[in-house]
């Protein structure tokens, strides 16, 4: 879906974990296409065989623009990822390789490598060193596969133990490891909760941004339901050299299709 801003167009991708939840997951591909989307993203394709997801994409005429690395089972130390967890190196590496296998079948250009929760009893310096080493290894695998790695912090209000501290930390890790392969997932919602100052931070981080996601704050609903000036934010994205997708990772306040009226308001 293309939304026109005062500075030009922005390409929107539907996050199928958050949007079109009115129908079962496998029906969301067609629902997204009927609504005008040509790209989709979602965290976990692993519940279905890669070939099945490929068929769903092809039948709907969609591109898969982003997937996450696998999460660990419920209740485990790696439920939100393994990269920041000392002692979980093998699980982390298996997850990265599995994500790359799916990315190859789905022709997905970006993989979000989830940080995970820092164990309460872990030494902070050891956890950070573990993370940097893991991202370095992931970058080597992704570079060989022609895939970009994205690093996303989660705001400390919603998840105080999430390992990756900030957008700026993500950018520093990307710069240290491999800035051509590793970049920042600039989530507007998380950035607003943790520090705000969105346009200035977007401009400073722009050389490192690999993917963008949007939701309003508070509530994490669609643009226009909270405090963020999305007309200005999206216009700045449109005016920038960023030419990737903007993922709609929000919970519609009153249904997916009614919620998409925000795209018309931005255009006006």
Asked if residues 130 and 85 have their Cβ atoms less than 8 Å apart, the reply is yes
The residue range of the domain holding 140 is 1-265
**Total domain count, the chain:** 1
Would you please indicate which residues are annotated as catalytic (active-site) residues?
A: 152, 249
The token pair at 231 is 């007309």
Whether this prediction's pTM lies above 0.85 is answered by: yes
Asked if residues 224 and 230 have their Cβ atoms less than 8 Å apart, the reply is yes
Does residue 3 surpass a pLDDT of 80?
A: yes
Query: Could you report the per-residue pLDDT of 172-213, keeping only the tens digit for each?
Result: 999 999 999 999 999 999 999 999 899 999 999 999 999 999
The token pair at 131 is 């993370």
Query: Could you report the per-residue pLDDT of 62-81, keeping only the tens digit for each?
Result: 999 999 999 999 989 999 99
Does residue 58 surpass a pLDDT of 80?
A: yes
Which residue from 60, 18, 8, 22 is spatially nearest to 41, judged by alpha carbons?
Answer: 18
d(CA 131, CA 141): 16
Asked if residues 2 and 248 have their Cβ atoms less than 8 Å apart, the reply is no
CATH number (domain holding residue 175): 3.20.20.150
Query: Could you report the per-residue pLDDT of 136-169, keeping only the tens digit for each?
Result: 999 999 999 999 999 999 999 999 999 998 999 9
Asked if residues 80 and 159 have their Cβ atoms less than 8 Å apart, the reply is yes
Whether a cis peptide bond, with omega within 30° of 0, leads into 66 is: no
Whether a cis peptide bond, with omega within 30° of 0, leads into 218 is: yes
Residue with structure tokens 């005429």?
61
d(CA 172, CA 263): 33
CB atoms within 10 A of CB 92: 28
d(CA 85, CA 104): 27
Per 3-state DSSP, the chain is made up of helix, strand and coil in percentages (nearest 5) of: 40, 20, 40
DSSP string of 168-207, one letter each residue: HHHHHHHHHH-TTTEEEEEEHHHHHHTT--HHHHHHHHGG
Asked if residues 234 and 267 have their Cβ atoms less than 8 Å apart, the reply is no
């Amino acid at each position: 879906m293309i939304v026109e801003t005062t500075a030009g167009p922005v390409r929107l991708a539907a996050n199928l974990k958050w949007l079109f939840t009115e129908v079962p997951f496998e029906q969301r591909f067609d629902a997204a296409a009927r609504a005008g989307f040509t790209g989709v993203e979602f965290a976990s394709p692993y519940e279905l065989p890669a070939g099945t997801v490929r068929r769903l994409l092809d039948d709907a005429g969609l591109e898969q623009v982003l997937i996450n690395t696998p999460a660990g089972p419920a209740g485990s130390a790696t439920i939100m990822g393994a990269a920041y967890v000392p002692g979980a190196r093998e699980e982390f590496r298996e997850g990265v390789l599995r994500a790359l296998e799916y990315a190859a079948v789905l022709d997905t250009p970006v993989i979000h490598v989830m940080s995970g929760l820092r164990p309460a009893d872990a030494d902070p310096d050891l956890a950070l060193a573990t993370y940097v080493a893991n991202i370095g290894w992931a970058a080597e695998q992704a570079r060989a596969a022609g895939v970009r790695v994205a690093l996303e912090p989660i705001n400390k209000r919603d998840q105080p133990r999430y390992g990756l501290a900030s957008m700026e930390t993500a950018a520093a890790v990307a710069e240290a490891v491999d800035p051509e392969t590793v970049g920042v997932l600039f989530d507007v919602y998380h950035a607003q909760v943790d520090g705000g100052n969105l346009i200035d931070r977007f401009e400073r981080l722009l050389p490192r941004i690999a993917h963008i996601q949007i939701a309003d704050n508070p509530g994490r609903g669609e643009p226009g339901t909270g405090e963020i000036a999305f007309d200005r934010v999206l216009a700045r994205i449109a005016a920038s050299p960023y030419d990737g997708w903007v993922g709609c990772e929000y919970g519609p306040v009153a249904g997916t299709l009614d919620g998409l009226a925000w795209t018309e308001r931005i255009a006006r």
